[in-house]
Homo-oligomer: A and B are copies of this chain.
Amino acid sequence: MTIAHVMSACDMTTITGMVRWEPGAGGRLREAALELYVERGYEQTTVAEIAQRAGVTARTFFRHFADKREVLFAGSQELQDGLAQAVRAAPPATGALGAVEAALEVAAEWLGRDHPHSRQRQSVVEANPELRERELIKMARIGAALAEGLRRRGVPDPEATLAAEVGIVTLRVAFGQWVSRPEPSDLGALMRETLSALRAVTAR
């Protein structure tokens, strides 16, 4: 299944609407926050400083984000929805892991757009236990959404949960490798390689 195939089966406005720095205050606030987290550290940065660098008020910040942590995780609900949608939209004859692969293609498309940004964000998240835990929880929620999508396709448990969790492991491992590389590379290809490696591990 190609990305184009998956994309055409998905809600294009959902998928294509997710540019990283949307114009306006929200995008400027995200950019300013990430800059400050990298420069000074996440814990040392205040909402007031983020707002100031973005040229808006703290009140505007709170219209966009609940707190300084959420700046880093905004969009994770949309990512989750996009992946669940890809699972739902996979052709009816597609098996459990095939539907998960379709979701991984969408994830690669989404997460693989801006390597320097992803590397910066990762360095901030890795440096802070609270943020690492938040990332874990986010991935667990995405896994639960994928499993639910598979059950709605008629895949019984435990197969639905196992296929979804295999997808999450693949996503985490491939994304981790991708951000650890200094140069940009094709995240979709890396996801496919990682899934092949996982299949080889379990086939032995």
Contacts and interface: CB of A to CB of B under 8 A. Distances in A.
A52 interface: no
Given A96-B201, A136-B136, A162 B173 contact: yes
A166 B169 contact: yes
Contact of A201 (B140, B166, B204): B166
A197 B133 CA distance: 29
Interface in A120-147: 133, 136-137, 140
A137 B136 CA distance: 7
A163 B200 CA distance: 10
B197 A162 contact: yes
Most chain B CB atoms below 10 A, which of A97, A98, A201: A201
A97 B197 contact: no
Nearest to A177: B158
Nearest to A172: B165
A121 B169 CA distance: 27
Interface of A: 95-98, 133, 136-137, 140, 158-159, 161-163, 165-166, 169, 172-173, 177, 194, 197-204
